[in-house]
Amino acid sequence: MSLNNQESFSPPTFADQKRKTVEVAEFTEDGRYKRKVRSFVLRTGRLSEFQKNAMNQNWHYYGLEHQNQPFDFKKIYGNDNPVVLEIGFGMGYSLVEMALNNPDKNYLGIEVHTPGVGACIAYALEKEVKNLRVICHDATEILRDCIADESLGGLQLFFPDPWHKKKHHKRRIVQPRFIQTICQKLYAGAFVHFATDWENYAQQMLDVLQQEPCLQNTSNTNDYIPRPDFRPLTKFEQRGKKLGHGVWDLYFLKTTE
């Protein structure tokens, strides 16, 4: 057998296994498949060798696994700094930049697509970022099982899947129940920061956020804020701006009530 053939049959690495097990099938007691309405489509794109190596060699430091008890953030990060959670960080470049620019905060990113997780870890290594951890799992299950109430200093959700067809709007992550869960996980004074380039989704986000009594809009016009300098401009957003696409930022604070 040639070397190339031997390589093609090499055992799967940790990153390969993670790529296949992000979404776990669930079944009812009588054995029927339980279909979930999820806010994402699991696109198991090709995991490059660069991304794979970043995950395999550095998961022990940057990676966190789903567990059935809350994370001990002080133990994980080694300090009491505020923890900011970002859901759906894509390739992770803006998340790493925020962690680099804000060493007084700890960042926790959730992403279900393994190429993005690998790219994020690789960029964090390049920038020598220490105040960042990543999770490759369904965010709703992480929030339910792993995040203690009143333990987060902020929640970021930038350019989530808009599910632009009306019949698919139920798949959008920003729904009243999701916001209620987020509010339970934030302590008083913590922030919620959303951004989207779909005006229809921006309006839905605004409506849902304004319905939550524990949140207060920071916008002077009670709707959207100008793009803040502290949110890094992504390549995706830069491309959209050149095409004339709008972007809407929403920034709310959890009140003490």
Segments making up each domain of the chain, as ranges: 14-254
86 in a labelled binding site: yes
Contacts (Cβ under 8 Å, ≥6 apart) of 128: none
Contacts made by residues 43-49, CB under 8 angstroms, sequence distance 24+: 43/113, 44/19, 44/20, 44/113, 44/114, 45/113, 45/115, 46/115, 47/15, 47/16, 47/19, 47/114, 47/115, 47/118, 48/115, 48/118
Tens digit of each residue's pLDDT (9 = 90 or more) over 190-221? 999 999 999 999 999 999 999 999 999 999 99
14-254 fold: Rossmann fold (3.40.50)
150 in a labelled binding site: no
- Cα dihedral 127, 232, 192, 219 sign: positive
- Do residues 89 and 120 lie in contact, with contact meaning Cβ atoms separated by under 8 Å? yes
236 in a labelled binding site: yes
Mean of pLDDT values over 120-131 = 97
111 in a labelled binding site: yes
Of 16, 145, 161, 249, the catalytic one is: 161
For the question of residue 207 being annotated catalytic, the response is no
Contacts (Cβ under 8 Å, ≥6 apart) of 239: none
Percent of the chain surpassing pLDDT 70? 84
pTM for this prediction: 0.84
237 in a labelled binding site: yes
- Do residues 106 and 131 lie in contact, with contact meaning Cβ atoms separated by under 8 Å? yes
